[in-house]
């Protein structure tokens, strides 16, 4: 399996990921009070999606993640779209990221010291389509076979969209990781798998991160694995809990530290002030090699990470 991340790792020793999409859309005025969440803007505001992708590239990101995290055939059907229309919108999510990338790359001055960025097709967990916070619990009650049946059609569509790799994100439970590991070889694209976690050792459903990574590590299509949409304060402990267990690069892109409140439909709680550049360097020292941000992070946060991580390190 060719790893599209390897040129970045060989040249820089690090891959800078982008930050939040949905919460960044909201920060710029989009109304995402909808079961489709960020995928709503594939219908209502594709230009804003493209601009945010561009802004992350300008901030230093090496990878853009498409607006398909919460896109599902069932969700689009609830909005009156048929299968073909839903599939076209999923592919459009990848195209918007590619267009943002191509605008960035079209200016020679922007290419200095950079490798042409990648586009990852976001594969959100099953819980994302439930619109009830299940991605932070993982209590679906579904079998591996049922989860395969859910994920296969979307993977099939997005595999044809021209993305460089899949980003299987915010996976909260071992059974869903097993479903993805069985499915990924069908489509020929590399992928990273990242898990949402509830403490310094366990994914949200309760299995250890170490067990989840051991399962995913065995899949040739998985070229990186780790954690996302997890509070920054847990990252060091989680990385320590899996230290030395895989030769594949570890991926880390935490949220800002708040808690998602399903009833209020918003992030609540206080976040401790965080120097994102310093934090990113700490995660690098702890073994992470793909580093970025998730919910509530911004292009400014990614800029701070990129500037800190691309400084010479002893």
Domains observed in the chain = 6-309 (3.20.20.330)
pLDDT band at residue 43 under the 50/70/90 scheme: confident
Output the pLDDT for position 7: 98
Output the pLDDT for position 232: 95
Output the pLDDT for position 139: 93
Output the pLDDT for position 132: 80
Q: pTM for the whole thing?
A: 0.94
Which candidate, 70, 57, 74, places its Cα nearest to that of 17? 57
Looking at 80-89, 136-145, 179-188, 259-268, which range is the least confident one? 259-268
Cβ neighbours of residue 67 closer than 8 Å, sequence gap 6 or more:
21, 38, 39, 41, 42, 49, 93, 96, 97, 122
Percent of the chain with pLDDT over 90: 79
Q: Inform me whether the pLDDT recorded for 267 exceeds 90.
A: no
Output the pLDDT for position 249: 98
Cβ neighbours of residue 191 closer than 8 Å, sequence gap 6 or more:
123, 165, 166, 167, 168, 180, 184, 221, 222, 223
Average model confidence (pLDDT) across the chain: 92
Q: Inform me whether the pLDDT recorded for 265 exceeds 60.
A: no
Output the pLDDT for position 259: 65
Cβ neighbours of residue 204 closer than 8 Å, sequence gap 6 or more:
135, 136, 137, 138, 172, 173, 195, 196, 197, 198
Mean pLDDT of 20-41: 83
Higher-pLDDT residue of 268, 154: 154
Output the pLDDT for position 98: 98
Mean pLDDT of 82-107: 96
Output the pLDDT for position 269: 65
């Amino acid at each position: 399996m060719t790893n599209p991340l390897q040129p970045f790792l060989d040249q820089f020793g690090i891959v800078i990921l982008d930050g939040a999409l949905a919460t960044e859309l909201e920060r710029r005025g989009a109304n995402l009070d909808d079961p489709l969440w960020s995928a709503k803007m594939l219908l209502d505001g594709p230009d804003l999606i493209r601009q945010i992708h561009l802004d992350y590239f300008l901030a230093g990101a090496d990878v853009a993640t498409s607006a398909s995290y919460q896109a599902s055939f069932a969700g689009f059907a609830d909005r009156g779209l048929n299968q073909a229309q839903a599939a076209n919108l999923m592919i459009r999510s990848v195209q918007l990221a590619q267009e943002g990338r191509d605008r960035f790359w079209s200016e020679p001055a922007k290419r200095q010291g950079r490798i042409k960025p990648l586009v990852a097709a976001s594969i959100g967990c099953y819980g994302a389509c439930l619109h009830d916070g299940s991605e932070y619990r993982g209590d679906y009650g579904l079998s591996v076979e049922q989860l395969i049946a859910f994920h296969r059609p979307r993977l099939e569509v997005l595999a044809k969209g021209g993305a460089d790799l899949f980003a299987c994100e915010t996976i909260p439970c071992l059974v869903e990781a097993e479903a993805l590991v069985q499915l990924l070889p069908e489509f020929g694209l590399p992928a990273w798998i990242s898990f949402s976690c509830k403490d310094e050792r366990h994914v949200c459903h309760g299995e250890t991160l170490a067990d989840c990574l051991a399962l995913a590590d065995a899949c040739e299509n998985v070229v990186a694995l780790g954690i996302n949409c997890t509070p920054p304060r847990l990252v060091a402990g989680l990385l320590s809990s899996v230290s030395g267990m895989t030769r594949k690069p570890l991926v880390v892109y935490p949220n800002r530290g708040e808690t998602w409140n399903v009833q209020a439909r918003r992030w609540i709680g206080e976040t401790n002030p965080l120097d994102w550049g310093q934090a990113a360097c700490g995660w690098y020292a702890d073994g992470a090699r793909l580093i970025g941000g998730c919910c509530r992070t911004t292009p400014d946060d990614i800029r701070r990470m990129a500037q800190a991580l691309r400084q010479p390190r002893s």
